[in-house]
Amino acid sequence: MPPRESDRFGDEFPDDENLDPGRASGRPRPDDGDGITEDLFEPLSPDDLSRLHYDSPGFSMGPGRMLAIEDEPSTFVARYMFPTEKFRGEWRKHWTYLFNHFAIGALATFFFGWLWGFLVRHRGGGFATVVIVLWILVMLYVSFRVTDWYYDRFILTNKRIMSVTGWVTRTVAMMPLLRVTDMKYEQSAMGRVLGYGTFIVESAGQEQALREVKRLPNPNELYLRIVEEMYEPEAVEAKLAAQSADAETAADAGDGS
């Protein structure tokens, strides 16, 4: 009779009947030494788990850095909220949204500067003035787009999500959290590196005033914030109460010193 695997290799492949009960059930085996075996199998506490997560680019794990919950909305946002609504945060689009506009301004400055110098050297003073006017118009356009970006906000409350866009002409879109049936965010390779993403929200209705919001910063943290508000509002309230208590404690300590 050929030898069994367990006979040839010792305990490397033990039979099921000889398997240690603790190992068979997945529990740590008591250690007669310094207890290292048990330490390796200790479950993580909730605090340990809360500090471990993938950061927004998704490349590494490290300490949690959830976005802080603001106390009050800005004056610009407050006009779109009703009194019983609880504010949870507002965000501008990521700074990369301005990259194209800054590139236009830089290229226009280089091109019109070269053209102006060329016309001056060839005694084309009248055309040089036109070049300066055109450059000013381009810079006014860039300034307008930057101001537009400043007033664009994505807003979260305990009742709904909102998107406010536009400076001269303004659009306010909203969706109740109760109507959200599906939500996801997408990140390109550059978005993962720089920390921005596009949110896509689906609702039960056919017509959607707010479906896609591009270039929002910290998409992973923002996604968790929205999901927490949808499914665990009590946890949000508890977090706010803890923040308020910590602020009061710090203020008392400051007064005492």
Which percentage of the chain shows pLDDT scores above 70?
65
Sorting pLDDT into bands at 50, 70 and 90, what band is 111?
very high
pLDDT at 44 over 70: no
**Could you tell me the residue ranges of all domains in the chain?**
97-149, 155-249
pLDDT of residue 253: 73
Q: How does pLDDT run across 115-161, given as a tens digit for each residue?
A: 888 888 877 667 888 889 999 999 999 999 999 999 999 999 999 99
pLDDT for the residue 105: 94
**What tens digit of pLDDT does each residue of 200-210 get?**
988 876 667 78
The pairing of strands 212-217 and 61-62 is: unpaired
Which structure tokens are listed for 238?
């508890």
3-state secondary structure of 184: strand
**Using CA atoms, how far apart are residues 106 and 17, in angstroms rounded to an integer?**
77
pTM of the full structure: 0.63
- The rounded mean pLDDT for the chain is 75
Q: How many CA atoms lie within 13 A of 84 on its CB side?
A: 1
